[in-house]
């Protein structure tokens, strides 16, 4: 695989949220607005890139029996750093993402990439993989957040384009499931079309 | 009365899956059959109550030494080792229970309901140890309820004709959305 393929596969072909169906909890939980989706995506990207780099560097010194706990410690430390940084510099976003920031530790996306990619590849490839996956995740969350925000409160990135309230259900729990279901179906259709052409 | 409030609120009003979005991966992943859904929710209930009780006292320790920022790391390590321990003890003490819960136990470490509920329980200042345990149990019951209902729906869904792009995960999410809509009827209950 070329470097570009490693990087780009996370964006559509193996999009973590829409194709691999990883990291669903934050995907559904925080995407009440586009900005929250973007923030969560970038936060996850930070963790997945750094954890991929660190794990690919230390993979040879970790005994195989304890590799999962060791990875979890690396990821949890990165998440703690992220928590402290976000609390200091973007307190508003930190508050609105709330519980889902510590829960990045158990986001299957991060551990999944460590297990599936970083422990078999070198640091540069792992960084590219993490970056691509992080971008794909960010993209999916931002689109989902934007769709819910537009339908639910008639605004996008906080800019109101419709007077009054939107369909409140889309900001609440049911809307998250409905919009994500439709988004995954859309991604299915899109990737089918693209890969039919390639064949 | 207060316990009753915690229980009803955690099971129906703020259902852990359908309102708080925790544990979605197993919710979508292992909810094809009612039987596996029951097994999974049993294992979650078991681990969640123990984990919440243990982390409740660990939070007291963290507070005592003013190292609250270590919360995420300590909690996840405690939960991971707890799951291992539960597995070992269960294997020895009750092989029958181990047989039925066994395959689900390792999955629980990365099930965010356990960590999520543990963090929620300690961040509620009014909760003592007993309230925290009841809170965890009620959340586990809510999780089980959502999982079992959803598994029943999906068993029916397999027979339905679904557009090809919507097959599998997308239609599962739409179904979950409708289920969440139904659960919203409980809001305002307490």
Q: Give me chain B's average pLDDT, please.
A: 85
Note the pLDDT of residue B190: 58
- Local structure of A123: helix, strand or coil: helix
Q: How far is the C-alpha of A64 from the C-alpha of A61, rounded, in Å?
A: 9
Note the pLDDT of residue A37: 93
Residue B13 · residue B190 · CB < 8 Å: yes
What is the mean predicted confidence (pLDDT) over B85-112?
A: 76
End-to-end CA distance of chain B: 12
B111: enclosing H helix or E strand = none
Could you tell me what percent of chain B has a pLDDT over 90?
21
**Residue B100 in this model has a pLDDT that exceeds 80:** no
What is the sign, positive or negative, of the torsion defined by CA atoms of A168, A171, A172, A176? positive
Length of chain A: 199
Whether B126 and chain A come into contact, CB under 8 Å, resolves to no
Q: Is B3 part of a structural domain of the chain?
A: no
Q: Domain range holding B134?
A: 9-188
pLDDT in tens, chain A (199 residues): 788 888 888 888 888 888 888 888 888 888 888 999 999 999 999 999 999 999 999 988 988 888 888 888 999 999 999 999 999 999 999 998 888 899 898 888 888 888 888 888 899 999 999 999 999 999 999 999 999 999 988 888 888 887 777 888 888 888 899 999 999 999 888 888 887 776 6
Q: How far is the C-alpha of B17 from the C-alpha of B182, rounded, in Å?
A: 13
Q: Is B35 part of a structural domain of the chain?
A: yes
Q: How far is the C-alpha of B122 from the C-alpha of B39, rounded, in Å?
A: 27
- The C-alpha angle A147, A46, B70, rounded to 5 degrees, equals 110
Q: How far is the C-alpha of B75 from the C-alpha of B79, rounded, in Å?
A: 6
- Interface A–B counts its CB contacts (< 8 A) at 122
Q: Which residue, among A48, A51, A74, has the nearest Cα to A134 in the 3D structure?
A: A48
pLDDT in tens, B137-150: 999 999 999 989 99
Note the pLDDT of residue B102: 64
Q: Which residue, among A152, A174, A151, has the nearest Cα to B186 in the 3D structure?
A: A174
Query: Is there a contact between B110 and A103 if contact means CB atoms under 8 Å apart?
Result: no
What is the mean predicted confidence (pLDDT) over B159-181?
A: 88
Note the pLDDT of residue A198: 67
Q: Is B2 part of a structural domain of the chain?
A: no
- Closest alpha carbon within chain B to A102: B72
**Residue B103 in this model has a pLDDT that exceeds 70:** no
- Local structure of A160: helix, strand or coil: strand
Provide CB contacts within 8 A for B142, sequence distance 6+: B10, B11, B12, B15, B16, B17
- The C-alpha angle B139, B142, B148, rounded to 5 degrees, equals 140
ipTM, two decimals: 0.85
What is the mean predicted confidence (pLDDT) over B72-95?
A: 85
| Residues pairing with A156 in the sheet | A159
Backbone angles phi, psi at A7, to 5 degrees: -70, -45
Confidence of residue B31 (pLDDT cuts 50, 70, 90): low
| Residues pairing with A160 in the sheet | A155
Q: Is B136 part of a structural domain of the chain?
A: yes
Whether A189 and chain B come into contact, CB under 8 Å, resolves to yes
Residue A108 · residue B110 · CB < 8 Å: yes
Confidence of residue B1 (pLDDT cuts 50, 70, 90): low
Q: What is the count of structural domains for chain B?
A: 1
Note the pLDDT of residue A111: 87
Query: Is there a contact between B72 and A21 if contact means CB atoms under 8 Å apart?
Result: no
The reported pTM is 0.88
Backbone angles phi, psi at B70, to 5 degrees: -80, 0
Taking the CA of residue A178 and the nearest CA in chain B, the distance in Å comes to 5
Q: Is B4 part of a structural domain of the chain?
A: no
What is the mean predicted confidence (pLDDT) over B169-186?
A: 89
């Amino acid at each position: 695989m070329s470097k570009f393929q490693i990087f780009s596969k996370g964006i559509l072909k193996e999009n973590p949220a829409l194709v691999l169906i990883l990291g669903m909890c934050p995907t559904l939980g925080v995407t009440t607005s586009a900005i929250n989706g973007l923030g969560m995506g970038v936060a996850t990207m930070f963790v997945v890139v750094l954890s991929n780099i660190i794990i690919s560097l230390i993979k040879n010194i970790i005994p195989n029996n304890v590799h999962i706990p060791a990875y979890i410690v690396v990821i949890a430390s990165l998440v703690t750093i992220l928590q402290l940084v976000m609390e200091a510099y973007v307190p508003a976003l930190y508050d609105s993402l709330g519980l889902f920031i510590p829960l990045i530790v158990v986001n299957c996306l991060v551990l999944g990439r460590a297990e599936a990619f970083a422990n078999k590849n070198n640091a540069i490839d792992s960084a590219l993989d993490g970056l691509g996956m992080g971008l794909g995740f960010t993209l999916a969350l931002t689109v989902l957040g934007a769709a819910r925000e537009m339908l639910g409160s008639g605004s996008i990135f906080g800019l109101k384009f419709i007077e009054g309230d939107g369909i409140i259900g889309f900001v609440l729990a049911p809307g998250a499931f409905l919009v994500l279901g439709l988004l995954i179906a859309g991604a299915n259709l899109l990737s089918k079309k693209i890969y039919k052409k390639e064949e | 009365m207060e316990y009753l409030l915690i229980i009803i609120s955690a099971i129906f009003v703020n259902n852990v899956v359908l309102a708080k979005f925790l544990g979605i991966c197993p919710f979508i992943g292992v909810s094809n059959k009612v039987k596996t859904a029951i097994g999974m929710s049993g294992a979650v209930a078991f681990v969640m109550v123990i984990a919440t009780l243990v982390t409740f006292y660990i939070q007291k320790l963290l507070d005592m030494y003013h190292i609250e920022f270590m919360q995420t790391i300590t909690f996840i390590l405690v939960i991971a080792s707890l799951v291992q321990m539960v597995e070992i003890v269960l294997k020895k003490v009750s092989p029958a229970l181990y047989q039925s819960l066994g395959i689900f136990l390792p999955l629980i470490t990365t099930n965010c309901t356990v960590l999520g509920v543990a963090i929620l329980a300690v961040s509620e200042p009014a909760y003592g140890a007993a309230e925290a345990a009841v809170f965890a149990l009620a959340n586990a019951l809510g999780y089980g309820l959502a999982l079992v209902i959803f598994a029943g729906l999906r068993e029916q869904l397999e027979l339905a004709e679904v557009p090809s792009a919507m097959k599998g995960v997308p239609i599962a999410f739409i179904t979950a959305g409708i289920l969440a809509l139904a659960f919203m009827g409980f809001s305002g209950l307490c």
